Structure 1
Amino acid sequence: MDAEQQGRQRPLIALAMGDPAGISTELATRLVASARVREAARLVVIGDRRMLDAGAAVAGLATAVPSVAIEEIGNADTGPALIDLGNLDPADITPGEASLAGGRFAVENFTLALRLAKAGRVDGVCYTPFNKKAMRYAHPGYDDESRFITGLLRLDDGGVREFNVLQQIWNARVTSHIPLKDVSAALSEEVILREIARTESCLRLAGIEKPRILVAGLNPHAGDGGSFGMEEIEIIAPAIEAARARGHDVAGPFPADTVFVKALKEGHHAVLTMYHDQGQIAMKLMGFDRGVTMLGGLSFPVCTPAHGTAYDIAGQGIANPLAGEEAVLLAARMAASTATERRPQ
């Protein structure tokens, strides 16, 4: 196998440029230049060459990324390429300020990346961070990436779930972007069982052969035998028992304030939490600059750095690319498990 053939074996990952008022364009350039990324994947960047060049200027990097037409991306050589949509002039963006122009840019780039992945033209999707305010300017009613994907690709509601990933542990959650007062009513044995199965499936795609999962309780001290709530007894524990009966290696419910400590000490691969901040706080304390958000439940991976757009350091050339690199590496590992059967023949 020659060098070009070896290069083509690497998954083809679409990198959608995110919010241009933050660090997203700088990060895109740094990912294009990253040796770790180039070894793991072929990148096709989606956005505007002017914005990519602006990001390169901030980062102090040279860009030598050829433009390709959409129909040519599967035949791109082993290096990165750019689908230049010509959709944003840098002069229209104020660093650190959410805008309609910035939101429209991110929405257009992400939409094309998802459609290419759905069609099997690319093996996975990554994106540099979005700003939700800007996204809502461009796409009224925008809640989060999971619901955006669900609507765009016409999927069943609840089919896309968000995972947060550090190299040593994953965080899955039963509920996500809903008010805290609504969490208890959203829990059921069926829903928890579904999320356990989804978590195991995603872990296997990431290369973990025998996933081990811990489940957090909802209430303080996991309810303390019913003293602080009955959800653990009536809903969560029965779901865990049903999952074990189906062959999943899962245990709990454990108090949320110690479950991550237990998982790390005992080598478990994931913690399933009941609501957003229950896991997010722990994960960001453990590795804010290394964390990855992965959207699971699709036939292809969608990954992004877990940190935000960092408006406060926009244009300073100090963005840390580590989480972005980890996002591409995770997408590449997961895409390698499904790419062959997804590519058009």
Structure 2
Amino acid sequence: MSQTSPRPLVLSLGDPAGIGPELICEAWAQREAEHLPPFFVIGGAEVLAQAARKRGLNVPIVRIDSPAEAYDAFAGALSVLGHADAKYAPGNPDRAGAELALASLESATGLAVLGEASAIVTGPIAKGLLATVGFEYPGQTEFLANACGESGDQAVMMLAGPNLRTVPLTVHCAIAEVSDRLSTKLIGSRCAIVASALKHDFGIENPRLAVAGLNPHAGEGGKFGDEEAKIIAPAIEALQAAGIDAIGPVPGDALFTPRYRERFDVAICMYHDQALIPLKALDFDAGVNVTLGLPIVRTSADHGTAFDIAGKGMADPGATIAAIRMASDMAARRSAHD
């Protein structure tokens, strides 16, 4: 397939015992109403077929031999590339399911890296289970960075919903480690990646960044901590000198109020929960995890495997649909600038 030919999106299955498979099927079932672009899934044809039946959906499954076939098939069936499969046992994860999830992720990523898919949308995984079958990364973001030949620092996680975008500068670490992991260089480099991505992947000509403080009241002039003065403020000054519209440090308890949210396009947060709590509170059913700074486009629904409700018809497909749509929009913007 030539680089100028349209390329479908590729979806990794996620853990087959979680809600990922049924939400993929729901997204395909709503493809016309939601105006979704063609996509295909790596592996798990029988898992998907059973997940659809369990949810009461009519989703024909067709096996394809190449990504290009997904275009012709998409109107009438959900395309699956590859023969790897597992039993469908919602809510009961096991090693075989983890092996399928990892194989799907690896193959999907490879197709995106090779340019045979326009973007990758990753299904939710259980990282603890994946670790038992050879997955050595804190999360899928770090895995994707390595697959692209990039350092972990180059890949930046952004959570995006209809009401808010947030970026956690430190992610999977203990709160006690956050202060030691922060640096003026880290803040500056990741904010620069975010600003560039918002401009080129999201079409925001002059992105506005609001940088949170770490401590209560942004340190209260040093009374509650000095990270703001020693680390965060110098980074903001350097960003401003480089022409990036950045403000802060903003106290965390003020940053996400309705009035303050009007002042920025993305909130740069110091740690995981500072970024994810407000995003999930405001946009849980439409939140997307998007990886910035990589040569490929990757998105994912901003929720986990939800084993407790898998197969019960309770899981909302909104975030999966939003992730598919965002991946397509980002890929289209990149293609337009190539």
Q: TM-score of the superposition, structure 2-length normalised?
A: 0.91
Number of residues of Structure 1 aligned to a counterpart in Structure 2 = 333
Q: After the TM superposition, which of the residue ranges 112-121 and 31-40 deviates more from structure 2?
A: 31-40
2:149 to 131, 154, 162: 154
Percent identity over the alignment is 32
Alignment partner of 1:170 out of 152, 157, 165: 165
Q: Does the Cα contact within 8 Å between 1:14 and 1:43 map onto a contact in 2?
A: yes
Residue of 201, 208, 232 corresponding to 2:204: 208
Is the 8 Å Cα contact of residues 240 and 251 (structure 1) preserved in structure 2?
Answer: yes
Contact 2:38 2:70 in 1 (8 A): no
Q: Is the 8 A contact 1:301 1:334 kept in 2?
A: yes
How far off its partner does 1:130 sit? 1.1
Alpha-carbon distance, 1:10 to partner = 6.7
- Structure 2: gaps spanning 5 or more residues: none
Summarize the Cα distance change of 1:243–1:278 in structure 2 as closer, same or farther, 3 Å threshold. Answer: same
Matches within 5 A, 1:164-203: 164-203=159-198
| Aligned equivalents of 1:334, 1:36: Cα separation in 2 | 20
2:313 aligned with 1:327: no
1:340–1:105 CA distance, 2 compared to 1 (3 A): farther
Separation (CA, whole Å) in 2 of partners of 1:99 and 1:214: 42
1:120–1:254 CA distance, 2 compared to 1 (3 A)? same
1:264/1:12 Cα in 2 relative to 1: closer, same or farther (>3 Å)? farther
| Aligned-partner Cα distance in 2 for 1:37–1:209 | 30
Residue in structure 1 matching 2:86, options 75, 82, 89? 89
- Change in Cα spacing, 1:72 to 1:279, as seen in structure 2 (3 Å) is closer
* 1:284 to partner: Cα distance: 1.1
TM-score (norm 1): 0.89
Q: Indicate conservation of the 8 Å contact 2:193/2:293, yes or no.
A: yes
For the residues of structure 2 that align with 1:37 and 1:10, how far apart are their CA atoms?
Answer: 21
Instruction: Report how far residue 73 of structure 1 moved.
Output: 4.5
Distance in 2, matches of 1:130 and 1:247, equals 39
State the alpha-carbon separation in 1 of the partners of residues 161 and 71 from structure 2: 33
* Residue correspondence of structure 1 range 11-160 to structure 2 within 5 A: 12-35=8-31, 39-70=35-66, 72-73=68-69, 76=72, 79=75, 81-90=78-87, 93-160=88-155
Q: CA RMSD of the aligned region, Å? A: 2.3
Residues 27 and 128 in structure 1, CA contact (< 8 A), matched pair in contact too: no
Matched, 1:303 2:299: yes
Mark the CA change 1:75 to 1:318 in structure 2 (over 3 Å): closer, same or farther: closer
Q: Does 1:268 align with 2:264?
A: yes
Structure 2 residue matching 1:67: 3-state secondary structure: strand
Amino acid at match of 2:83: G
